Amino acid sequence: MSEDIGNRKADHLDLCATDQVAFRQRTTLLECVRLMHQSLPEVDYDSVDTRVRLLGKELRVPLLIAAMTGGHERAAEINQSLASIANDLGYAFGLGSQRAMQKRPETSWTYQVRERAPDVLLLGNVGMVQARDLPTTTIAQMLADVGADALCVHMNPAMELVQPEGDRDFRGGLATFQRLWAELDVPVIAKETGNGISPQVAERLRAVGVRYADTSGAGGTSWVGVETLRAEGDGRALGEALWDWGIPTAASVRYCVDAGMTTIATGGIRTGMDVARAIALGADCAGIARNVYQAFLEGGIDGARAFLLRVERELRSIMLLCGARTIEDLQKVPYVVTGELRHWIAP
């Protein structure tokens, strides 16, 4: 497949339209979190309150339509349509990597969503390597150009190693986070891209001031798998070996929460049950990407909206069954940890 950055973005859209890029054997391990049923919930369904405050804005529901795309003409319709849904439903919305916008300014229109989503909590996005090599003023201008409320700095070494045109030098990452946290006027979110955040990385980020994490753990879309399907020869062989590499989402959530970070749970979140389990583990919000995109491809704006409203209904129902009237209550409900997850998060 093409190494041109615009065509690479188109490749990603084509591949993520299918389930062939999912992790093959590893799961999120959210299924190992068993929420405790309460037969006397003492909660009125109509009073269940899903509001949460994140990055200075109130979300009606703790949901993020997570970062997907940009830099290609097809991305514009996807970004604008999904951002408008997020705006209407009171969710957050994440842009795909703005690297294409920085390298080819003529593609900046594919990231412009503010006209369709004036009130949405909007997350900008740049790679750690690019952030390391760019002046803070350039990054600040990229964020201002799209009206972003915060910046996701994505960490993606596994993906880059397999990507035919990927980066190979990942030095200076922690210093980059420290610089951006100190110099930018918007919050900085440490974001993985499908391989999860370890307790060691979470602690190091927290130590230099970073307060927000987006887990993007293993178990959902394998971005190593995406790049494997684009690669040839030795790159493809390496990708096959690393396809299931990573820390499961459930474990990554706990690591980030335990490090004292406000945590967005992404990576294989598909249902209201997944959202509820992640929040019970301590997450403040959960993000969904590929399943929303697929619902949009199948049914347009109405299809994506219907999918998200089903997730909402399931979340509200589970909150009632746990006796949780608010998201803060849900973060405190009793649960049982089973199976492999016990080994990941055991003291």
Domains of the chain and any CATH numbers: 5-345 (3.20.20.70)
In the chain, which ranges are continuous DSSP H helix?
A: 5-16, 73-89, 99-103, 128-133, 136-146, 157-162, 173-183, 199-207, 223-230, 233-242, 249-258, 272-280, 290-321, 327-330, 341-345
Residue 344: what pLDDT? 97
Average pLDDT over residues 223-241: 91
Percent of the chain's residues with pLDDT above 90: 83
Average pLDDT over residues 114-121: 97
SS3 helix, strand, coil % of the chain, rounded to 5?
Answer: 50, 15, 35
Task: Determine the Cα–Cα distance for residues 214 and 64; give it in Å rounded to an integer.
Answer: 11
Average pLDDT over residues 254-272: 98
Residue 103: what pLDDT? 87
Q: How far is CA 119 from the centre of its chain?
A: 20
pLDDT digits (tens, 9 = 90+) for 62-87: 999 997 777 788 889 999 999 999 99
Q: Is the pLDDT of residue 187 over 80?
A: yes
Q: Is the pLDDT of residue 319 over 50?
A: yes
The type of residue at 141 is Q
Say how many CA atoms lie within 13 Å of 57 toward its Cβ: 23
184 — pLDDT class (breaks 50, 70, 90): very high
Of 2 and 205, which is predicted with more confidence? 205
pTM of the prediction?
Answer: 0.94
Q: Is the pLDDT of residue 186 over 70?
A: yes
207 — pLDDT class (breaks 50, 70, 90): very high
pLDDT digits (tens, 9 = 90+) for 128-149: 999 999 999 999 999 999 999 9
Tokens of 338: 């089973």
Task: Determine the Cα–Cα distance for residues 237 and 344; give it in Å rounded to an integer.
Answer: 28
Task: Determine the Cα–Cα distance for residues 327 and 244; give it in Å rounded to an integer.
Answer: 32
Tokens of 142: 């990229």
Average pLDDT over residues 264-293: 97
Residue 7: what pLDDT? 61
Which residue is it, tokens 């130590």?
Answer: 207
What lies within 8 Å, CB to CB, of 22 at 6+ separation is 220, 221, 222, 225
